[in-house]
């Protein structure tokens, strides 16, 4: 067994990946601090515990994933990925700085958060697909599944400490300083990109620039039933299940009546499950369609347990299940789609993946927020459970159809 961890973490032997991962860890820590502070700002300071307002912020932040889809994937396939990442990361840092200054000076209003959330979403829409495909330049295709898992673990290590740190910062010095900390954290990832060893990168195959590039990507996906099934599952869970700011904040404030520290701790507790799932995924290697089926099913089960949780800590334990299941599912879709897609098409395919996983939030978040306001937070968690079970049904349908297909 002693050789398993070394095989699982082989990407860390590469200088460029270690540098990237270190910068990403610092930046992700700041991102989670900001997410916690933003939800708290909207829910308890700028509104009177309005889940609908949190839903609107989420909708504005993720709408650009769909609105800009014709350009984001093409940019990832055609552009210098390292330079594009430096632009998108820098833009996100500037926006975090603006929100921090507005909050610290006491000038912040709800519409400021709405506008900045939308602009942040525009930068993230270009950042997400290129960040995912850039990993293959750092490690090559051979170590890509391992690097995908390690990327998620880096993100979730930050999610373990970030929300708790955010809660403590809010209680100690206020929400504005949390945003300023996030702005400073982007310097770490920018430095890591600047100091990469260019000669050690694995150049990706760039698609030739031509008209109709986006439509070409859609045609490619349309001819792949396996990709269509994965995208349908992502849309269901992304639209109605990926609403953790609403689920956790409303349960924390309305049901369990905790302060900012208790709210931040819940997000950190959920990260325990995501990190555990990442470690298991690193040992397991390349995921399969069965991995996605079990992940989606457990997402539904975890949300059911969360909805029925009688106490704060029981709710936290259910979030561990949700976090682990969600990470198993989302990591599986990432690795499967990249490894089964032609290198020249990866940017457009991954942009479509991100768009359907996050771009459905403008539909789902206001609905989930309305359910939480109208019927209570526990019923909102029921919507999340339904999304997991529906995605599992799609996976079963796809497996049945695949078995019925005659051999080539």
Read off the pLDDT of residues 128-187 as tens digits, 9 standing for 90 and up.
878 877 887 787 767 777 777 777 777 767 776 777 788 888 888 889 999 999 999 999
Q: Which fold has domain 3-192+200-404?
A: Growth Hormone; Chain: A; (1.20.1250)
- At 122, the pLDDT band (50, 70, 90 cuts) reads very high
Distance CA 351, CA 358 (A): 10
Q: Write down the pLDDT at residue 341.
A: 82
Query: Beta strands of 141-206 (E only): which ranges?
Result: none
CB 56 within 8 A of CB 287: no
DSSP class of 254 = I
Nearby residues of 118 by Cβ (< 8 Å), 6 or more positions away: 60, 61, 63, 64
Read off the pLDDT of residues 196-252 as tens digits, 9 standing for 90 and up.
888 777 766 555 555 667 788 788 888 888 889 999 999 999 889 988 888 988 899
Distance CA 86, CA 386 (A): 39
Measure Cα distances from 33 to 49, 54, 273, 281, 302 in Å. 20, 16, 19, 26, 25
Read off the pLDDT of residues 256-312 as tens digits, 9 standing for 90 and up.
998 888 888 887 788 788 777 767 766 666 777 888 999 999 999 999 999 999 999
Nearby residues of 313 by Cβ (< 8 Å), 6 or more positions away: none
Map out the domains of the chain as residue ranges.
3-192+200-404
- At 405, the pLDDT band (50, 70, 90 cuts) reads low
- At 1, the pLDDT band (50, 70, 90 cuts) reads very low
Q: Look over the chain and give the mean of its residue pLDDT values, rounded to a whole number.
A: 84
């Amino acid at each position: 067994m002693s050789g398993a961890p070394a095989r699982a973490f082989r990407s860390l032997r590469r200088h460029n990946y270690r540098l990237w991962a270190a910068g990403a860890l610092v930046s992700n820590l700041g991102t989670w601090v900001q997410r916690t502070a933003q939800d708290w700002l909207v829910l308890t300071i700028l509104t009177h515990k309005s889940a609908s307002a949190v839903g609107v912020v989420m909708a504005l932040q993720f709408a650009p994933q769909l609105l800009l889809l014709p350009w984001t994937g093409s940019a990832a396939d055609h552009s210098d990925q390292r330079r594009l990442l430096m632009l998108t990361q820098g833009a996100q840092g500037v926006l975090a700085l603006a929100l921090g200054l507005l909050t610290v000076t006491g000038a912040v209003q709800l519409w400021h958060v709405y506008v900045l959330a939308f602009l942040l979403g525009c930068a993230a829409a270009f950042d997400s697909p290129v960040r995912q495909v850039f990993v293959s330049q750092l490690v090559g295709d051979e170590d890509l599944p391992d690097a995908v898992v390690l990327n998620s673990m880096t993100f979730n290590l930050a999610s373990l400490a970030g929300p708790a740190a955010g809660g403590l910062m809010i209680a100690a010095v206020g929400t504005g300083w949390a945003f300023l900390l996030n702005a400073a954290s982007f310097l770490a990832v920018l430095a890591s990109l600047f100091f990469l060893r260019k000669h050690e990168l694995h150049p990706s195959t760039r698609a030739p620039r031509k008209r109709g590039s986006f439509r070409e990507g859609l045609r490619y996906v349309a001819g792949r039933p396996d990709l269509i099934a994965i995208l349908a599952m992502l849309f269901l869970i992304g639209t109605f299940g990926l609403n953790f700011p609403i689920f956790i904040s409303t349960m924390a404030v309305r049901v369990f009546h905790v302060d900012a520290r208790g709210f931040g701790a819940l997000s950190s507790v959920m990260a325990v499950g995501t990190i555990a799932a990442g470690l298991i995924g690193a040992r397991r290697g390349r995921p399969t369609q069965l991995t996605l089926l079990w992940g989606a099913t457990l997402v539904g089960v975890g949300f059911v347990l969360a909805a029925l949780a009688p106490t704060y800590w029981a709710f936290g334990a259910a979030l561990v299940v949700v976090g682990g299941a969600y990470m198993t599912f989302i990591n599986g879709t990432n690795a499967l789609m990249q490894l089964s897609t032609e290198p020249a098409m990866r940017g457009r395919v991954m942009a479509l993946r991100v768009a359907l996983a996050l771009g459905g939030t403008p539909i789902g978040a206001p609905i989930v927020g309305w359910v939480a306001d109208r019927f209570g937070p526990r019923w909102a968690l029921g919507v999340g459970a339904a999304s997991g079970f529906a995605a599992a049904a799609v996976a079963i349908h796809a497996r049945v159809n695949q078995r019925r297909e005659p051999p080539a």
